[in-house]
Structure 1
Amino acid sequence: MTSIAGLPDFLLYLGTAAGLTGLYLLTYTLATAHNELALIRRDVTAAAVALGGSLLGFTLPLAVAIYNARSVLDCLVWGLVALVVQIAIYWLVRLAVPDLSRRIEDDRAAAALLLGAASLAGGVLNAASMTY
């Protein structure tokens, strides 16, 4: 039975991560000036690339937060930090490319790749910073 002794903690952290990821997706899609899900449903690849990069940029530090967490509260706090960092990255890219949302809506790959890459790079740095 020792092989499943950690199951309750696993489920607790997995549920916490799923909840934080849902909160992230909700917050991110409300923060952007375009509707990612509607665009993805219309097969706009740029929207999927940008959202996918952002999601990876969030979940990478979240995984590190789970790994380093001393408690679920610790995990929640660092997960929220990762959320804030990703929203900030979106706004920084939007400052550099003011018509970012229009470009993504028009399925222009360059803007989507820049946003996705910036989100992933920010997530890597965020995750590395959590390995204190």
Structure 2
Amino acid sequence: MDTIVETLTTGLPVLLLQFAVTLALHGLGVALYMLLTPFHEFRLVRAGNVAAGIALAGTLVAIAIPLAATLASSLVTLDILLWGLVALALQLLAFIVASRLIPGLRGMIEADNPAAACVLVGVQLAVALLNAGAMAG
């Protein structure tokens, strides 16, 4: 029992620090995403726009997937921070590319077109899974 308590005593602070860093990275990623998007997700969601809700929910998950892989595969907090920033850059780049490949994305999201939001989320999740696989290496 002493070994379990000792392990918990030394491991829990590390876990909490690494989890906090990952949550902060996630928040940063979502904030940067919202700055990049030409539409205002929260305003649209509050107005009942389903497409905006799908796009925002997909982004939350797509940003979390590679960060989770980084968290799971890194031994030190600095690795999580550095590789987490790389993961965010790749995810944001995926959104930029997807928004260029889907002509009129802004108008479709603002017009509450869930099909457009689903395509956007599909691209984001596909890149997130590949990104996570690369991060877990």
What TM-score does the superposition give when structure 1 sets the normalisation length? 0.94
Q: Which consecutive unaligned segments of at least 5 residues does structure 2 have?
A: none
Give the superposition deviation at 1:27: 0.2
Deviations 1:52-106 (A, max 9, x none): 1122111111011011112111101111111111111111111111210111111
Give the superposition deviation at 1:43: 1.5
Match of 2:29 among 19, 24, 33: 24
Give the superposition deviation at 1:3: 5.8
Q: Which consecutive unaligned segments of at least 5 residues does structure 1 have?
A: none
Per the alignment, residue 72 of structure 1 pairs with 77
Contact 2:39/2:110, CA 8 A, preserved across alignment: yes
Give the superposition deviation at 1:125: 0.3
Per the alignment, residue 6 of structure 2 pairs with 2
Match of 2:97 among 80, 92, 100: 92
Correspondences of 1:1-132 after superposition (within 5 Å):
1-2=5-6, 4-5=8-9, 6-132=11-137
Greater C-alpha Rg? 2
What TM-score does the superposition give when structure 2 sets the normalisation length? 0.91
Aligned residues: 132
DSSP 3-state at the match of 1:130: helix
